[in-house]
Amino acid sequence: MTYATEDNITDLAVDRWGTAHDPRQAEVLTSLVRHLHDFAREVRLTEGEWMAGIQWLTRVGQISDDKREEFILASDVLGLSMLVVQMNNHFGPGATPATVLGPFHIDGSPPAPYGWDMSDGIEGTPFFITGTVRSVTGEPIAGAVLDVWQADADGTYEAQLDVDEARLRAKYHTREDGTYCIRSIVPLGYAIPMDGPVGDLIATTDISYFRPSHIHFLLEEDGYERLVTHLFAEGTPNLDDDVVFGVKEELITPFLPHEPGPAPDGSSLEMPFVTAHYDFVLQPTAR
C-alpha cells in the first residue's frame, strides 16, 4: 500500500482518475489533476488561500440559476471561453470569425419575418442591420437562421429581468437570395454584472469591466459550421480592452447615423436612425 506524500500525491491522483471509463474523460481529468497540483506547487498555495478559492467558487454556484450564468461569466473574464472558441473554430480564410456566446443567450427565440422590429416599442434609436449570409465558396445561403439578441439602451439583457415575453431577441431567416433585414434599437456598451463574485474579484484589480457596443448572432444552416459571433460598432469605447477578450477586427463594422427618411426595410422614419451592413460568411462542414 502506498500512502500519499507531498512528492507522490500527484502520481497517485493521476492513476486514480485515469481509471475513468471513457478514454477522453480519463485524458481530461488526469491532465486537470496534474495542472491543479502544479499550480498549487508553483504558488505555494496556503490553506487560507485554498479555502478562499473554495468559498468564491461556492458563491459562483449559489448565485447561478437558470437565468444567471456566473460560471460562464467567470470563464469569459478569465479568457478561457475565448481560448476554447478560438481552438475549436478554425474556419477557412474569408469566413466570419466566431466569438464568445456570453451568459445572456436564451434558447427558443420567436421566429421573425424579414425586417421585423425585435425592439417592440422599447426605447432607443431605431437600428437596421442588413446584409447577406453566404458560403466561403461565394453562393448565398437561403433559409439560414440568424438567432439575434442584444442589451437595451441601459445595457440590460432580458435574462437579467423578470419578464415573460421575448425581449430584444428573435430568430430571422435569410430569403432565397441570402439577404436578411433586422430592425431593433442601437445597442450601447455596458458593464458586465458586477454584483456577484466575478465582480468582487474584478474590483480587486485594474481591469475595465465594460464591453464595447455589440449585438449577438448565432447562425445555423445544415451543411455549415454553427457560427456564434457578434457585430461591434466601429469607434465605440472599449474595443481595445473588452473584458471578455471577444473583439475581432473582422467583426467591427460602421454603425451609420441617418436623418429621418427612407429606411432599409422600405418604410419611412420620422426620426433619425442608424444602419449597419454586414455579410456573414459561413464555413461548410467537413464531409
Q: Extract the runs of DSSP E, i.e. beta strands, from the chain.
A: 111-112, 126-135, 145-149, 169-173, 179-185, 190-191, 210-211, 214-220, 227-233, 252-253, 256-258, 261-262, 268-269, 273-277, 280-282
Residue 73 or residue 186: which is nearer to ligand BEZ going by CB?
73
How near is the Cβ of 234 to ligand BEZ at its closest, in Å? Answer: 17
Rg, C-alpha atoms of the chain: 22
- The cell numbers describing 154, all together, are 441601459
Is 211 near ligand BEZ (CB under 6 A)?
A: yes
- Would you give the binding string for ligand BEZ spanning residues 45-74, x where CB under 6 A is met? ----------------------------x-
How near is the Cβ of 167 to ligand BEZ at its closest, in Å? Answer: 14
Region from 46-54, 99-107, 178-186, 231-239 binding ligand BEZ, contact rule CB under 6 A: 99-107
How near is the Cβ of 283 to ligand BEZ at its closest, in Å? Answer: 23
Binding footprint of ligand BEZ, residue count (CB under 6 A): 9
Three-state secondary structure string covering 84-138: HHHHHCCCCCCCCCCCCCCCCCCCCCCEECCCCECCCCCCCCEEEEEEEEEECCC
How near is the Cβ of 246 to ligand BEZ at its closest, in Å? Answer: 7
Q: How far is CA 186 from CA 42, 151, 232, in A?
A: 47, 9, 11
- Would you give the binding string for ligand BEZ spanning residues 213-252, x where CB under 6 A is met? -------------------------------x--------
Is 273 near ligand BEZ (CB under 6 A)?
A: no
b/e code 215-240 from CB counts within 10 Å (16+ = b): bbbbbebeebbebbbbbbbeebebbe
Is 280 near ligand BEZ (CB under 6 A)?
A: no
- The cell numbers describing 141, all together, are 445561403
Name which of residues 108 to 167 contact ligand BEZ (CB under 6 A): none
Is 198 near ligand BEZ (CB under 6 A)?
A: no
Backbone angles phi, psi at 15, to 5 degrees: -60, -40
Residue 134 or residue 211: which is nearer to ligand BEZ going by CB?
211
Residue 126 or residue 196: which is nearer to ligand BEZ going by CB?
196
Collapsing DSSP states into helix, strand and coil, what is residue 248?
coil
Q: What is the crossing angle of helices 47-63 and 70-77, to 10°?
A: 130
Is 212 near ligand BEZ (CB under 6 A)?
A: no
Is 169 near ligand BEZ (CB under 6 A)?
A: no
Q: How far is CA 86 from CA 97, 187, 247, in A?
A: 9, 25, 12
Answer yes or no: are the C-beta atoms of 277 and 130 closer than 8 Å.
yes
Region from 82-90, 95-103, 131-139, 221-229 binding ligand BEZ, contact rule CB under 6 A: 95-103
Among 103, 126, 187, 196, binds ligand BEZ (CB under 6 A): 103
Dist CA 216 CA 230 (whole Å): 4
Is 192 near ligand BEZ (CB under 6 A)?
A: yes
Region from 10-18, 98-106, 127-135, 202-210 binding ligand BEZ, contact rule CB under 6 A: 98-106
Residues lying near ligand BEZ in the complex (CB under 6 A) are found at: 73, 76, 100, 102-104, 192, 211, 244
